[in-house]
Amino acid sequence: METNQSQAPAISVQGLEKSYKDLHVLRGVDFDVEPGTIFALLGSNGAGKTTIVKILSTLLKPDAGAAAVNGFDVATAPGNVRESISLTGQFAAVDEILTGRENLVLVAKLRHMKDPGTIADALLGRFSLTEAGPRKVSEYSGGMRRRLDIAMSLIGNPQVIFLDEPTTGLDPQARLEVWQAVKELAGQGTTVLLTTQHLDEAEHLADRIAILHGGRIIVNGTLAELKALLPPAKVEYVEKQPSLEDVFFAIVGDGGAGLGAAASE
Ligand SMILES: Nc1ncnc2c1ncn2[C@@H]1O[C@H](COP(=O)(O)OP(=O)(O)O)[C@@H](O)[C@H]1O
Ligand SMILES: [Mg+2]
């Protein structure tokens, strides 16, 4: 079975456009994601993040442009793309009536994996859910559910995992737990594309951050590169480094598009 070439990006997006009737949501989106990295797609509510994730996971067809995942074109090889990925949406897809372990076993069986029980136990351990494993998911906290959801999405060892707003609606402690789980994923060589509205989430998790605004990626870089877009910090008594939030509003706010266009790839 063919997989991605050593230097090929895990995700490649070129000139992607999508409209819903008169609403031109994506107006030419370009970015690449290197294998084994965490890429954060940062944008406000309604920016088009989920639209991009749906196109990359073959749930939606673009109007123009091209996208490839794990070396497979979403338009011409959607089956191969689907075999390469997992998708975790904003709303956890776990079954409440089953226990955490039963959820994992069920998915492993659906994916025709050998030894579903062993797979389930390994994942419970990896996401600190061993003790919770025999309990019904209806008794889980939000963070535990989301961790279980991420664990379920790993069954079958997908090369690329899409996490669409993995922490939206979670309390701060649960967010931290999910962040740990996401870091764990990339540590094992999985490529992660996550979407978020939270600047601090992108700042903590991502190797690269792309800001989606006005239907385009207006900035794409490492946190250090994004911070460097702002003028050097003024030194008075205390040097204040710009936060990612400062960068975001400097670019997205009035008159920022030029700065973003000059700096994006
Ligand atoms: N199926 C759809 N039909 C019509 N409009 C849609 C549909 N899906 C999304 N939209 C609109 O497209 C825009 C982008 O949506 P979405 O990709 O979900 O943004 P995000 O995930 O960044 O919040 C929003 O204005 C949304 O209301
Ligand atoms: Mg969304």
Buried b (16+ CB within 10 A) or exposed e, 110-140: eeebeebeebbbebbebbebeebbeeebeeb
Q: pLDDT of 191-239, one tens digit each?
A: 999 999 988 899 999 999 999 999 999 999 998 898 888 776 666 666 6
| Residue 169 backbone class (left: φ over 0; alpha: ψ -120 to 50; beta: rest) | left
Q: Which residues contact 56 (CB under 8 A, 6 or more apart)?
A: 11, 13, 67, 69, 74, 81, 85, 162, 193
Query: Which of 21, 49, 51 has most ligand 1 atoms within 8 Å of its beta carbon, as the pocket-test mutant?
Result: 51
Q: Is the pTM of this model over 0.95?
A: no
Ligand 1 nearest atom to the CA of residue 48, by list position: 17
- List residues near ligand 1 (CB under 6 A): 20, 23, 25, 43, 45-51
Q: Is the per-residue pLDDT at 137 higher than 50?
A: yes
Q: pLDDT of 154-191, one tens digit each?
A: 888 899 999 999 888 888 888 888 888 888 887 778 89
The span from the CA of 140 to the CA of 101, in Å, is 12
Give the residue, by CA position, lying nearest to ligand 1 atom 23.
Answer: 46
Q: How many CB atoms lie within 10 A of CB 28?
A: 13
Q: Quick one: DSSP state of residue 242?
A: P
C-alpha 93 to ligand 1 mean position (Å): 20
